[in-house]
Copies of this chain bind each other. A is one copy, B any other.
Amino acid sequence: MRITILGGGGFLGRKMAARLAAEGHLGGREVSGLTLFDMAEPAPLEAPFPVARLAGDVTDAAALARAIPEGTGAVIHLAAVVSAQAEADYALGLRVNLQGTLAVIEACRRLAAPPRVVFTSSVASFGGGQAANLPDDARQTPANSYGAQKAAAELLLADASRRGMLDAVSIRLPTVIVRPGRPNKAASSFVSAILREPLLGLETTLPVPDDFRVWVCSPRRAVDWLTHATAMDTAPLGLDRGINPPGLSVSVAEMLAALTPEQRARVKREPDATVAGIVGGWPASFTADRARRLGFAPQDGVAEIVAQFLADDLAATRAERGL
C-alpha cells in the first residue's frame, strides 16, 4: 500500500511516519511507499520502503497531484491551520482547513481506485464546554472558526465517500498531550505546556482554573487511532464518517498531580479569558461508545502519558530548544 501524509512534516505527521517506518506494514498490508507533504520539505526518514518528501501548499492542485499519485491507497490528511491561528486569521483558516480539504477531494477523485482518507477533525468542532459528556450523535455547534471549518470539511468528505470518490474516516482528535517542542498557536497549547515545560525545568503559565477539565489523548494513542482508521473496514460507518475516539477526560489538577512538587511550582496561575473562552467551549468528555465498538483503543492515564513523553520526546525537545 502506498501512503501519503499531508502535513507530514508536523508533529503528528512525523510520528505517524516513524510508526510506519518502524513497522513496515499497516493493517496486515506491506507499506510499499510513503510520501510526506508539507509547506516545507519534511526531514529525511529511514524506512524499509521508498520515502518521497515534497514541499507544497495543500490548496495547490498541481502540488497535491504530485503528493497523491495514481496508486495511492491511503491519504492521512493532517494539514491544518490550528485553532487560535484560524481565529486570528479567518481567511487563512478557510483557505487551508476548508478549501484545502476540497483540494484533497479533487486530487483523490482523480485516482482509479478511491483511496482511504483519514482526516483529523477535532474536539473543537463541538460545543458543550465543561459540563458536556457528548454522545456519539451529538450535533456539532462549534464556537470557533477552526472547529466550524473542520466540521464543514467532515460533511464534504462524508459526501465524497458516499459518492465513491474516496473512503473517509474523520477522527475528532482530543487535545494531544504532551506535545513536544515549543508552545504553538493552538488555544490548547497550555494543556501540553503545563506538563512539558516543568519537565524541562522551565516555568509556564496556567490560563484556566485547576478544576478545568480537558478531553485529551497521547501522541502514541493518536497514532494508534490514525493507523486503525487507515486499516479499518468502513462499511459499518454508513453515512456517518465521523469518529469520537475514546480519549481521557482529565482536570488540570489531575494533570499536575503527575509532576513532582518542585515541577508543579513552575506552573504560574495567570488567568487568560481569551484562551479560557476558546478551550472552555470545547466539550470536556465524550461517551465514545461507537469508537470502542469499532476497535479504537481507549486512552490510558496521565501517568502513562507523562512516561511516554519522557521516553519518546524529552531528549529531542531538549535538543531542539537548546536546553
Contacts and interface: CB of A to CB of B under 8 A. Distances in A.
A155 B152 contact: yes
Interface residues of A, number: 27
Interface string A116-152: 0000000000010000000001111111110011011
* Max chain B Cβ within 10 angstroms of own Cβ: one of A98, A102, A148, A156: A148
A163 interface: yes
Contact of A155 (B140, B162, B163): B140
Contact of A158 (B94, B148, B158, B240): B148
Contacts of A159: 142, 144-145, 148-149
Contacts of A94: 102, 156
Contacts of A62: none
Nearest to A106: B91
A202 interface: no
Contacts of A102: 94
A166 to B, nearest CB: 13
Contacts of A11: none
A145 B163 contact: yes
A141 B239 contact: yes
Contacts of A141: 158, 239-240
Interface of A: prevailing SS: helix
How many copies of the shown chain assemble into the complex?
2
Contact of A151 (B145, B149, B155): B155
B139 A162 contact: no
Nearest to A150: B155
Interface in A55-70: none
A278 to B, nearest CB: 12
A111 to B, nearest CB: 16
Contacts of A140: 139, 155
Contacts of A90: 163
Contacts of A240: 139, 141
Contacts of A143: 162, 239
A139 B139 contact: yes
Given A142-B239, A148-B158, A152-B156, 18 more contacts: A98-B156, A137-B139, A138-B139, A139-B140, A139-B240, A141-B158, A141-B239, A142-B158, A142-B159, A143-B239, A145-B163, A148-B155, A148-B159, A149-B156, A149-B159, A152-B152, A152-B153, A152-B155
The 3 closest A-B pairs by CB, nearest first: A148-B159, A152-B152, A152-B155
Interface of A: 90, 94, 98, 102, 127, 137-145, 148-149, 151-153, 155-156, 158-159, 162-163, 239-240
